Structure formats: C-alpha cells, structure tokens
Structure 1
Amino acid sequence: MTSTTSPSALDAAVVVDSIADLVCENYVFPDAARQLADLLRRRSAEGSYRTESAQELADAVTADLRSVNGDLHLALKHHEVPVPSERGAAVLAAMRREFDASLGGVPRVELLDGGVAVLEIGPKTFPLDWAAQPLAAALSLVAPARALILDLRRNAGGDPNTVAFICGYLLDGRTHLNTLVSRQGEVAEQSWTPPFVPGARFGADKPVYVLTSGTTFSAGEELAYDLQQLGRAEIVGEPTRGGAHPREGWTVHPHLELSVPVARAVNPVSGTNWEGTGVRPDVPCDAGAALDRALELAVARLA
C-alpha cells in the first residue's frame, strides 16, 4: 500500500485523471462536470498537483473542484486513518467515529426555563439505522415540553432519511419534505415523514425554534429548511453554509475520498433549495447568542 505522505509515488496524475472521470460521469450538472474534468486534466498537465502530501493534494484539487460553481459538496477529502475502498465507505467510517463519541448524535437534552426544552442534534444527522434509537429516546423525552429549541449550530450534515425521521416527531400525518432530481432530470427519490415513529411525538402545534450557524451544512440545513418552508419552525441565528446537493463518495487512494453530488434537491413548497444561499434565518443574530434569543422568543410566546 502506498504511503499517504507520498502521492507522487502512486502517481498523482493517475489519481487526478480518475477523479476527472468520476466527476464527468457522475456530477449532477453535466455541463459543469465536463468543464471541471477539463480543468483538472489541464491543471494536472501543468504540474499543479505535484506535492509530497496527500493533504496538500486534497486541498489543491478541492479548490479547483469548487472554482466553477462553488458547490461545497464537491471535494477531495483527506482521511488520516486509511479508509475502505468500497464506494461510500470512507465517509461512513469517519462518521462512525463521530457517532460513538457524541452519544449517538444527541449530545444535549435539557429542560430550560418556562418548560422549554433544548435538543442538540450533531455533529451530524447520522445514518438512521444507527441514530433511530438515541433520537427516538431524546425526541420522546422532550415531547411533553411546552416549546422546543433544536440546536443545529454544529450540525455538518448526514442522512436525509434521519431528517425525515426527526420531522416525523414535529408534524402530524405524512408530509412531503423533499424531492431529489437526478442528473438526467428525472425524479430519483422523494422524502416523506414516516407514518409511524417510536415513542411520543412533540406534535405539530407547539412552538419550535431551530438554531443555525455558518457551520450548519447539508442535511442539517435540510432539517432547518424543511421546517421553515412548512411554517413549522422559526430559524434563529446565522445563515447556513449552503450545500443542498446529496453526494456520494469514491475512495481514490487509501487516504483520499472524492465527494461528488449526484442529484439536486427540490423543496415542494419553495420549488427550489438552499444551495449557495444557505438557509436564511427568520430571526438573524450571532450564533453564540441564538440560544438565549430563541429562549426569549419561546417564553414570550408561551406567556
């Protein structure tokens, strides 16, 4: 196996060429995909990717991948720990370590003044087959609260199925949340809240506030955006990062994973998504002050 400290030993040009092929074949926007593939090959021929560090290679390729349309899901990710070669396995291995270190993605559940509960979901919305049990426990625990604050300020993305699961506790009846449209312009998948959730629902009538920051990304953004567009929650905090395209990952080296968006999200209410713009807060404020601000809003509304 080639060392991560010497991408030249594995032939960086070959790695970049494989990246160009994968982008061209899979990126959701075909015209941009061809433009990016041409850019990568030209930059490689110019010697722009000669480096002795896999981290430096990842940084240089990522900068070029994002130079055409600013898609933050386009990336060559460096992993310190060697990752499996199977498609999608690299990001799952990294997420599993975060899951085990964060109480299953529910690091904070607390009852604040006036019967207002705060529930932090992060650092990811982890795959549903991992996260269903801790999320069901936490969401059932806060169900009797008079109002709920969902803290997504440190949530960097994850599984859209988990987003739908969480929304199932905050809405009544099956609700259409999102539609994924493929590279070919066809409906690839629709996201709906589940007809049944384990435990107690918070329900659709009591106040919900969602905290966001400039770190909130991807599936974390979807959770905020879905609830906002449905009129179910007020967003308090900062605009989010702006990554709406679902991605897949390919291991192109034991320490390097290529992330490529393979579909685009279409919200059934807005007809669009938060790509590039981020989720815009209903109550803008610094992320550090968002919890206090949301608590003030909740207490005032309940009074």
Structure 2
Amino acid sequence: MDWDKLRIFHAVADAGSLTHAGDVLHLSQSAVSRQIRALEESLNTTLFHRHARGLILTEQGELLFDATTAMNKRLDAASARIRDSEEEVFGELRVTTTIGFGTLWLAPRLTKLYEQYPDLNIDLMLEEKVLDLPMREADVAIRMKEPSQADLVRKRLMSVRMRLYATQSYLEQHGEPENLADLHDHRLICQNVNSEQIGAGASFVTSLLANDVTKMLYVNNYFGVLQAVTHDLGIGVLPDYLIQDFPDLVRVGEHIESAEVPVYLAFPEELRQSKRIAAFRDFVQEEIILHRKQLRDKEIS
C-alpha cells in the first residue's frame, strides 16, 4: 500500500475536508482528491461519504483511519527515540497525571528540571482520565494506582493518603472537631463521591458523610478544595503531600485518613532507552527523596 497515499488519507480523515487537508499538506485540493480516488481504486472500496458540509468516513474508511492513527503513533514513538541524543536531553515530553498531583506537587517543582535541561519542553496533561500510554496518548504517566497494562515499565514512587485539613484561623473561629461526630458542626470541602477520582478518596469521603455532615462544598479537583480551605471556608479532604508546600494547613483528626494510595510512574516499554524519560524519571525520584527528607526533618523539629 502506498505510504504517501495513506498519509494524505489520514490528513483528509482528520480534517474532514479536502481543502483543509491540502492546507496542512501544502497540496492543492485537486491533488489531494486525485490521491484519495487512487487509494479508493486500489482498495476497491469507498472511504468517504461526500456531503456539502464535508467528508464523513465510511465503515471501511473508519477501519483504515484506525490503522493509520496507530501507525502515526508508532512512528512518533520511533521518531522520539531517534531524536534522543546520547548525551543531551531535548524536545517534547508529554506527561500525564491527575489535576491535583500535577498542579499542587509536580508543576511547582519543574523549575529544577528546566534549569538542568533547558531544551526540554514538557507538555503537562492534567486530567483524571487514564491515558493510553502504549497508544502514545502520552509519553510518561504518574498514576494513583498500579498500571494494569503489561507492556509498560513501572516504578512505585511513594504512597499518599487523604486527610482532613483546615487553616489555623478557621479552627480558632469555629473550633476543632474532637471526633468524627463533631464534623456535623463544620462545612466539609471535598470532591463529590460520584466524581472521577481515586477510589480511596471516594471511599474516605463516603465514610465521612456517614457522620451526619450537612454543610458541604463540593469541588471536582483537589486544587479547588485547597483554595476553598485556605480561604477559611471549612475543613477539606486533601492529599497529605500538600503539607510540605502549604505549612499553614493544620491537620484535623490525627487518626482520620483514607486507605493508602500507591503512586506509580509508568512509560511504554519501547521508550525504555529514551533520554528524556530517564531525565524526568530521575528528577521525580530525586524530588520525592527530598520531599520525604523534609517531612522527616519537620517531624523531628
């Protein structure tokens, strides 16, 4: 099958228009149209339904588009490996993790990584959805559970627990609950149990709500919960890794916490030799070691 025709087909299918695909490929509309017709003839099938508003893939076109999409992702992976210098770290690295961990722990620490590797460009994709690493939706992930796919390199980084936090000023004004039953007198700030989040967090919130909590503020990510807590709106459910960077937070209830949540770094097996992956992995591990040391020093002092 002609690779050039497949490349043009993919661009047309992605754009939904001969004209837009031509702009991307720097080809005339007629040239693009000729290549599509030639591909259809070679396959003896129709790949597009043609409408006034654009092009729609046929069932056969969908099958071919799935194949060209997978091919492009594999080519991107190969290209990334080829571009990786033996001694330098440069280019784009797509990192995915949760909104909370990405905004509250990872992003504030990236200054150190950029100082060490100024030619590295991070594309930080923050969402609760688990992206498909083997299909190259991202290069590397930090996940709040062990990845289930077999073709991934994985490393356990740390453990996290959800705990209750408030500001000192809030507690001085409203009092500190002595037990779970006292939460009835406070506003609980947390993610809705039906929102997309780690299971341990949802289970923890469910257990708290069983204590006749009536005043609530739901926020769909931990960054929002933190903002509400720091503005004295109530007691928030937050991950314990925050306490190092937000020392004004006060833990509420010494023994009130979620189950342990393992944090893993993972990337596709095919990127095992990538210098960019290695640089990012080493950076994260070093920051976690420093994080743990600072927490131990704080506990001792």
* Bigger share in strand: 2
Computing the radius of gyration from Cα coordinates, the structure with the larger value is 2
Q: TM-score, normalised by structure 1?
A: 0.26
* Bigger share in helix: 2
Q: TM-score, normalised by structure 2?
A: 0.26
